[in-house]
Amino acid sequence: MKKLSLIFSWFIWMITFFIPDSKITMQFRGWLYSLFMPKCGKNFQVSSGAKLFGINKLYVGNNVFIATNTVINTGGNIILQDDVMIGIGSVIVAGNHTLEGSSYRFGQREEKDIIIGQGSWIAANCTVISGSQFPPSSVLAANSVFLFHDEVKSGIYAGVPAKLLKIYKAPHNGVKND
């Protein structure tokens, strides 16, 4: 199934790469990818330059957008909850190399799940590392690397590695966050 999924992803990318991005064409791409995905919500949009590998382990909620030049590579499961946006040039990989002897070249692949919480925005050129749980309603600032966190709070994360800069509180009775 893994090889068939990889071939199917490559085929979708090849036949739709030259179709200009519009809401309808990005939804069409998302629909094509969803045929091999275990779960995919409605309004899944994928830009033309995005590359999705291992879609048989990609779970997508409703209203998810993946921008151009993004690479999503499963090993473990990748779960994109509802209303998630992935910015241009981001990399989300649910696998990592391990050290064997004195080299990473031939070490066993370590696979851990990634969860990106509902309503979150991964900005341009970000990396989300295997095993990460990005909190709901949060922003990962451009050019940041998100490593798994023990205590995840909704807010703005930035840096390499990303640190919490500002905590978001859930809006209550029309009161906005400062």
Asked if the structure places residue 16 within a domain, the reply is yes
Q: What is the CATH number of the domain that holds 152?
A: 2.160.10.10
Asked if the structure places residue 172 within a domain, the reply is no
Non-local (6+) Cβ contacts of 95 within 8 A are: 73, 74, 75, 76, 109, 110, 111, 112, 130
pLDDT tens across 46-90, in order? 999 999 999 999 999 999 999 999 999 998 999 999 999 999 999
Residue 17 CA to residue 20 CA, distance in Å, equals 8
- Alpha helices for 17-57 (secondary structure H): 23-34
Asked if the structure places residue 173 within a domain, the reply is no
Q: How far is CA 28 from CA 5, 15, 18, 85, 100, in A?
A: 18, 12, 13, 17, 43
Asked if the structure places residue 178 within a domain, the reply is no
pLDDT tens across 4-21, in order? 877 888 888 888 888 999
Asked if the structure places residue 174 within a domain, the reply is no
Reply yes or no on whether the pLDDT at 148 is more than 90. no
Q: What total of structural domains would you count in the chain?
A: 1
Query: For the whole model, what pTM was predicted?
Result: 0.89
What's the domain range around 35?
2-167
Asked if the structure places residue 176 within a domain, the reply is no
Asked if the structure places residue 62 within a domain, the reply is yes
Asked if the structure places residue 52 within a domain, the reply is yes
The one-letter amino acid code at 9 reads: S
- Containing 16, the helix (H) or strand (E) segment is helix 2-16
pLDDT tens across 115-147, in order? 999 999 999 999 999 999 999 999 999 999 999
